[in-house]
């Protein structure tokens, strides 16, 4: 018995040792970007690095970023004034609206595919799903010119429309699995009581697939928020910029000071970070189901 306990004890130590390494690998970089964003320039630019936590933490970089725009690495005039606020609000707006639409539309469509029989069902399902595993890049090239001709380039509504369409296959597929998990007897009872399909959706399907809808909403929100390629291609002017593009401009074009860029990066990753921290269960369910199919 003592030997066994001893063995367990040693095993524990090993487990925590590997956990520490895993956390250093996974969380270390995130920790450092946060520390960089609240460090004073003096401390951050010290070589070799002396402190792994700032002695005088400061929110200056964030204040600068949102008030006058990020600081140039050299000078003090900033071309990025107002860019953070606009892009933050744009990104929030586009992400929330697209995710809401995707959730609503794909719950309805998911229900239709999960529960109803009709001619051509297989064909329509295939039609909507086919592009899911394929890279949409082939569509994007021609889409750019179509969207330009339609005058929707560089508009938030154009972005929202594209995101909705690109996320629909995943949403529909997820929701049809989630709706299938509802006990059909409840719907039958409601039908016998005289509910029509719309009432059935309103009173039975929506309330009972809440957690599925939450998963679809969160996965969609995250996908839109994190996306870079679409806003890169479909937006131009500062007024319709999204956060990911603004961050890439900070890095490449404007040569913003490091601590200010770090703050911009923290702002860009904050919503996904918080969602991942508090709603990971929903996310993992949605994201793995979607990827594995």
Partner 1 sequence: MLTDSLPENRQDIVFITVILLPLIILVGILIYLPAVDSLIVSFTNENLRIRRLPKFIWLENYSKLLENSEFWIVTARSLLVVALTLPLELLISLGLALLLTEVFPGRAMVRTLVLLPWMLPPIVNGFLWGWLLNGEYGALNGLLYQLGIIDEYVTWLRNPDTQVIWVAVVQTWTRFAFPTIILLAGLQSIPKDLIDAAKVDGASSWQSFKSIVLPLLMPSFAIALTIEFIAAFQIFDVIWTLTAGGSAGGAINPFTKTLMLYNYELVFRDLRIGLGAALSYLILFLSLGVAIVFVTRLYNQAVKS
Binders of partner 1 in range 129-158 (CB under 8 A): 131, 134-146
Per DSSP, 55 falls in state: S
Query: Distance from CA of residue 2 to its chain's centroid?
Result: 50
**169 vs 167: CA distance, rounded Å:** 6
Taking CB under 8 A as the rule, does residue 249 contact partner 1?
A: yes
Instruction: Determine which residue in the list 203, 229, 236, 237 makes contact with partner 1, applying CB under 8 A.
Output: 229
In the complex with partner 1, which residue's Cβ is closer, 2 or 135? Answer: 135
Of residues 55 and 288, the one with the C-beta less far from partner 1: 288
Region 103-132 residues binding partner 1, contact defined as CB under 8 A: 105, 108-109, 112, 115-119, 124, 127-128, 131
Of 36 and 90, which has the nearer Cβ to partner 1?
36
Q: SS in 3 state form for 103-131?
A: HHHHHHHHHHHHHCCCCCHHHHHHHHHCC
Count of residues for the chain?
Answer: 293
Complex with partner 1: residue 4 or 137, whichever CB lies closer: 137
Could you say which of 7, 29, 181, 237 contacts partner 1 (CB under 8 A)? 29
Among residue numbers 52 through 81, which ones bind partner 1 (CB under 8 A)? none
Closest listed residue to residue 177, CA positions, set 135, 234, 216: 216
Q: Is 233 near partner 1 (CB under 8 A)?
A: yes
Q: What's the closest the beta carbon of residue 26 comes to partner 1, in angstroms?
A: 5
Out of 23, 42, 63, 89, name the contact with partner 1 by CB under 8 A: 23
**Which span (65-73, 77-85, 163-171, 208-216) binds partner 1, by CB under 8 A?**
163-171
- Long-range contact pairs involving 48-52 (C-beta distance under 8 Å, separation at least 24): none
Say how far residue 74 (Cα) sits from the centre of its chain. 33
- 92 touches partner 1 (CB under 8 A): no
Least distance in Å: CB of 51 to partner 1?
A: 10
Please say which residue, 93 or 124, places its beta carbon nearer to partner 1. 124
Among 165, 177, 238, 239, binds partner 1 (CB under 8 A): 165
Query: Which lies closer to partner 1 via its Cβ, residue 77 or residue 142?
Result: 142
Residues 191 and 205: their CA atoms lie apart, in Å, by 12
Question: At 72, phi and psi to the nearest 5?
Answer: -60, 150
Q: Which long-range contacts (CB under 8 A, 24 or more apart) does 79-83 make?
A: 79/254, 80/246, 80/249, 80/250, 80/254, 80/256, 82/238, 83/238, 83/241, 83/246, 83/249
Contact map string, positions 253 to 282, toward partner 1, x by CB under 8 A: x----x--xx--x--xx--xx-xxx--x--
Site for partner 1 in 169-228 (CB under 8 A): 169, 172, 184, 187-188, 191, 196-198, 222, 225-228
Query: Residue 11: is it exposed, middle or buried by C-beta count within 10 angstroms (0-12/13-18/19+)?
Result: exposed
């Amino acid at each position: 018995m003592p030997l066994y306990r001893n063995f367990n004890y040693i095993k524990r130590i090993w487990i925590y040792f590997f956990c520490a390494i895993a956390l250093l690998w996974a969380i270390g970089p995130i920790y450092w970007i946060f520390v960089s964003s609240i460090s004073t320039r003096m401390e951050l630019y010290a070589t070799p690095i002396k402190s792994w936590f700032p002695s005088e933490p400061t929110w200056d970089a964030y204040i600068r970023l949102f008030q006058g725009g990020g600081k140039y690495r050299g000078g003090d005039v900033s071309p990025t004034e107002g860019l953070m606020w606009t892009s933050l609000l744009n990104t929030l707006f586009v992400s929330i609206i697209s995710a809401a639409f995707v959730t609503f539309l794909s719950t309805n469509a998911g229900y239709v595919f999960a529960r109803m029989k009709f001619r051509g069902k297989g064909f329509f399902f295939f039609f909507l799903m086919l592009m899911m595993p394929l890279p949409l890049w082939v569509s994007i090239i021609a889409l750019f010119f179509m969207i330009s001709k339609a005058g929707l380039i560089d508009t938030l509504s154009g972005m929202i429309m594209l995101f909705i369409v690109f996320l629909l296959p995943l949403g529909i597929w997820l929701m049809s699995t989630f709706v299938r998990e509802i006990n059909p007897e409840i719907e039958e009872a409601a039908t016998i009581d005289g509910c029509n399909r719309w009432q059935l959706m309103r009173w039975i399907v929506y309330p009972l697939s809440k957690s599925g809808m939450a998963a679809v909403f969160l996965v969609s929100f995250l996908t839109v928020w994190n996306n870079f390629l679409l806003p890169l291609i479909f937006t131009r002017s500062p007024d319709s910029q999204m956060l990911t593009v603004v961050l890439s401009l900070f890095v490449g074009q404007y040569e913003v000071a490091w601590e200010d860029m770090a703050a911009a990066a923290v702002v860009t990753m904050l919503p996904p970070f918080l969602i991942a921290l508090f709603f990971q269960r929903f996310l993992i369910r949605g994201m793995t189901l979607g990827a594995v199919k």
